[in-house]
């Protein structure tokens, strides 16, 4: 602990007043050290939290691109339907709309607009992630941002998004999707659950 200079006025007061003044100075010094330590701890926590978010982004992006490459270059040569379970097929398809093939007809001729919209959303998610104060929220936003970037990269490279996961119940099929969509939806579900827990917790 660095030495602190004691004002001369302390020694010009009565003994009781001088002792009180010294006690106040000591308390201020201790509080100052605690505040400095807390600030350092907060900085370390923020750095760790952002690192967790970046890991989630990179993981979602890397897994998405790896699975798409394997599906397109290896498994689907030649293209075919692979029956994995009674409710899951692997089938190659391309999406010109947003996630799960929504609005494909609308955005077929507006691919560049869709790329910029998705990029803007990814930037918003990144900013939200940086200023978030929760590890869980940061991880969820990282998954969403990583998934969005995965689909953006796909759209820039191919002009459309590669989908291959086909969930179905009998003759009813959910729109084909990919790992990026899983990351986006999974992150959104985590955010909703966190929000519900926060609103239901007592004040």
Instruction: Give 116's contacts (C-beta < 8 A, 6+ positions apart).
Output: none
Instruction: Give 68's contacts (C-beta < 8 A, 6+ positions apart).
Output: 154, 162, 164, 178, 179
Report the alpha-carbon distance of residue 88 to residue 85 in Å, rounded: 5
Based on the residue annotation, tell me whether 109 is a catalytic residue of this protein. Answer: no
Could you tell me which residues are beta bridge partners of residue 90? 82, 165
* Bridging pattern class, strands 88-95 and 161-169: antiparallel
Exactly one of 64, 154, 166, 181 is catalytic; which is it? 181
Exactly one of 64, 154, 163, 166 is catalytic; which is it? 163
Residue 49 CB coordination number (10 Å): 20
Based on the residue annotation, tell me whether 166 is a catalytic residue of this protein. Answer: no
Query: Mind telling me the catalytic residues?
Result: 163, 181
């Amino acid at each position: 602990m660095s030495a602190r200079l004691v004002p001369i006025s302390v020694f010009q007061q009565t003994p009781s007043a001088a002792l009180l003044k010294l006690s106040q100075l000591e308390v201020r010094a201790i509080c100052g050290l605690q505040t400095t330590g807390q600030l350092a701890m907060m900085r370390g926590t923020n750095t760790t939290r952002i690192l967790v978010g970046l890991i989630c982004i990179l993981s979602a992006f890397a897994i998405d691109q790896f699975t798409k490459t394997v599906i397109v270059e290896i498994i689907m040569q030649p293209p075919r339907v692979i029956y994995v379970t009674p409710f899951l097929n692997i089938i190659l398809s391309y999406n010109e709309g947003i996630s799960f093939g929504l609005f494909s007809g609308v955005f077929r001729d507006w691919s560049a607009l869709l790329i910029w919209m998705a990029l803007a959303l990814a930037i918003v998610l990144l900013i939200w992630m940086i200023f978030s104060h929760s590890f869980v929220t940061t991880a969820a936003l990282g998954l969403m941002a990583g998934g969005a970037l995965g689909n953006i990269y796909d759209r820039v490279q191919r002009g459309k998004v590669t989908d291959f996961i086909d969930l179905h119940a009998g003759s009813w099929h959910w729109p084909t999707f990919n790992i990026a969509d899983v990351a986006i939806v999974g992150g959104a579900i985590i955010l909703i659950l966190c929000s519900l827990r926060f609103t239901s917790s007592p004040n």
